[in-house]
Amino acid sequence: MNEQVSDPTSPPEEAPVWRRMHPVTPVLRGWKVFVGVLLVVGYQASDNISSATRLLAGRGWLLVLAGLALVAVVGFAYAAIAWRMTRFAVTDDAVHLRSGIVFRQQRQARLDRLQAVDVVRPLLAQLVGLSELRLEVAGGAGSAVSLAFLREQEAEELRAELLALAAGLHRPTAAAAPVTSSTAEAGATTAGAGATTAEVGATTAVAPAAGPAFETAPEYQVYEVPLGRLLASVLASGAVAWLLLLMVGLVVLAVTTGDFGSAFFALPMVLAVVSVVWSRVNGGASFRAATSPDGIRLRHGLTEARAQTVPPGRVQAVSIHQGPLWRKPDWWRVQINVAGYGQEESSGERESVLHPVATREEARTALWLVLPELGVPDPVATLDAALTGTGSDGGFVSAPRRSVWVDPIGWQRHGVLVTDRALILRSGRFWRRVVVVPHERTQSLGLTQGPVQRALRVATFVLHSTPGPVAPRVEHLDSQVASDLLHEQAERARRARAVAAPEQWMRPPEPRR
C-alpha cells in the first residue's frame, strides 16, 4: 500500500475566509442604473420635444419625478442585493469570487497566472475613500476579476498580499498572521487567544489584527511626466490635427451651403475626437513609473486614479513609436502588451501605456524596465539605430531594394535585428515604430505574401503576441530571409523558454529528499 507523506515545510491548507465588499458599494453602483435611464429618457424627449412638453404640462412633471424615483429605488435595491450576494476569498493559490442573484457564478483567478494588479479609484470612489482592485489573469476574454469596492488601505494591503502569493511566498501561520478581512461567512469559526466573534445576520465579524500579512514592497521612482509636456504632446498629436481639420471643414461647409443645421450631423465625429484627446490628458496626468521587487509600478490618472503593478516577466511586447508632429522635440510613446489587458472590452489604451510622452532617454529607460539586457555590446547605439536609422544601420537586416515597388516611401525603414535576448522590428518613415519582443515571449510566428510580393520575392514576417496595442510585424523582407527567420526564431523561442525565470519568481527552492 502506497502511503502519501506530506511535506513538513509546506503550510497546512486552511478553509478560505469569505469577505464582502464595502457596504457603500451599492451606492457607487446603483447610480449608474439611474443615470442610464435618465439618458435614455432625455434622448427620447429630445427626439420629440412637443410630446415631452405636453407630458410635463400641468402635474405631469410629478409623474416624471415619481417614475425617476421608482427607477432610482429599483436600481439601488438591485445593487444592494447584488452586493449581499457577492463575496470573495483569497487562498495561497487563487482568488475566488462568488456573485449573481438569479444565476449564481463562481470565478477563480489563479495567482500563478496573474499578469497585473491594478488599484483603480474612480472619481466618486475617491470622494468616499474607496478603491477597486482589478486582477488581470492570462486567459480568454472575461478572465479578469474585479473587487469593487474596498477601503483604500485594504485594497493596498490586498494587492501586496496577492503579489507576494503570486511570487511564490506563503502566508504566515494563522497564529502569527494578521487577518485583513472584516467579514466572514456564517458558521465560520475563529480560533486564537483573544479572538471575538459576533454573529450579525449572515456574516461573522472578525476582530481586526495588528497589521497586514505582507508589507508593501519598497519602490524606486524612475521617471515622472511633466504636465506641460503632456499637454503640449496632446496638442501636437494627430487627434488634435484631425479635430481642427474637421471643424474647419464643417465651417466651410456651413458657409458655402448656407445650411448650418447639416453641420450637426458631424457632431458625433467631433465628440469622438474630443473623447480621444481627453482620454490622453486624463490617463497621462500625474504619470509616474517605479521599480519594486514585485514588478513595474505605474501611477496615473486625473478623474480616475490608477495604480498598476505588472509583475516581472509579464510584459509580452514593447512598442516605441513617434508621429511626424513629435519629430522636432524627439518625443516617443511607449506601449506594452500584457496578457489580460487587451482582452477586456472595458480595457482602454491607457492600461497598456508604459510612458505617454517620453524623451529618447526616457524611452530607453522604459524599455530597460521590461528588458534590462538587450543582448548587444552597445544597447544605446542599437536602440538609436532602431528608432531613427535606415537600411543596415545598427546591423539590421532591411527590406531589399526591389520592395520599393510596393512601398516607395518607407521601404528602407523596414528591418529586423536578432539579439541574444530579443527580436527588434523596425518600420515607418513618417510614423516611426520599433517593436521589441523577448525571445521567450514569442507566441507564434507566421509569413504572409500577396501576389505582388510573390512576384517581387518578398514576404511579411509576423510575430503573434497577446492582444494589445503592439502588433509585431515587419513588411517586405526578402522571402528567403523571412523564411529562415521564421524557423530560427521558433528555435530561439524554445530555448529561451527553457531557461526563463519561473512564474513564481520568489518561491524558495524545493528541498532535496
Complete DSSP assignment for 20-51 = ---TTHHHHHHHHHHHHHHHHHHHHHHH-HHH
pLDDT at 189: 33
How do 353-358 and 332-338 pair as beta strands?
antiparallel
Exposure of 50 by Cβ count < 10 A (0-12 exposed, 13-18 middle, 19+ buried)?
A: exposed
Q: Write out the three cell numbers for 46.
A: 429630445
Q: Tell me if 417 sits within 8 A of 394, measured CB to CB.
A: yes
Q: CA 386 → CA 391, 437, 442, 465, distances in Å?
A: 10, 13, 20, 20
- Predicted pLDDT at 69: 80
Burial class (CB in 10 A: 0-12, 13-18, 19+), 100: exposed
Helix or strand run (H / E) with residue 89: strand 87-90
Contact 403, 411 (CB under 8 A): yes
Label residues 361-392 b or e (16+ Cβ within 10 Å = b): ebbbbbbebbbeebebeebeebbebbbbbbee
Per-residue pLDDT of the chain (513 residues), as tens digits, is 444 444 444 455 567 889 999 999 988 887 776 677 666 666 665 555 556 566 666 666 677 777 778 877 888 888 899 999 999 999 988 999 999 888 888 888 898 888 889 999 998 899 999 999 999 887 655 667 899 899 999 999 999 999 988 887 877 654 444 433 333 333 333 333 333 333 333 333 333 344 566 788 789 999 999 999 999 999 898 777 777 777 777 777 777 777 666 666 666 777 777 888 888 899 999 999 999 988 899 999 999 999 999 988 889 999 999 999 999 999 999 999 998 775 554 445 678 999 999 999 999 999 999 999 999 999 999 999 999 999 999 999 999 999 999 999 999 999 999 999 999 999 999 999 999 999 999 999 999 999 999 999 999 999 999 889 999 999 999 999 999 999 999 999 999 998 877 665 555 545 444
Helix (H) or strand (E) holding 445: strand 444-448
Considering only CA atoms, give the Rg of the chain. 27
pLDDT of residue 427: 96
| β-sheet bridge partners, residue 317 | 337
CA distances (Å), 388 to each of 353, 375, 414, in order? Answer: 21, 20, 11
Residue whose C-alpha cell is 517581387: 456
Q: What is the pLDDT of residue 250?
A: 74
CA dist 468 and 120 (Å) reads 20
Here the cell at position 445 is 510566428
458, exposed or middle or buried, with CB in 10 Å at 0-12, 13-18, 19+? buried
Would you state the pLDDT for residue 207? Answer: 36
Which residue type does 499 have?
A: V
* Per-residue pLDDT, 259: 66
Q: Which is nearest to 350 in space by CA: 338, 362, 366?
A: 338
CB atoms within 10 A of CB 444: 10
HSE of 157, CA atoms in CB hemisphere, 13 A: 16
d(CA 211, CA 214): 9
Cα gap 208→19, rounded to integer Å: 13
Q: What is the three-state SS of 327-363?
A: CCCCCEEEEEEECCHHHCCCCCHHHHEEEEEECHHHH
CA atoms within 13 A on the CB side of 122: 12
Q: Closest Cα partner for 97 from 162, 60, 144, 51? A: 144
Query: Is the distance from CB of 197 to CB of 205 less than 8 angstroms?
Result: yes
Torsion angle in degrees (nearest 10) through CA of 380, 385, 386, 389 = 160
* Domain limits, the chain: 25-189+200-206, 226-283, 313-498
pLDDT of residue 100: 87
Whether pTM exceeds 0.75 = yes
The pLDDT, as a whole number, for residue 359 is 97
The three three-digit cell numbers of residue 185, written as one number: 461567512
First to last CA, the chain: 21
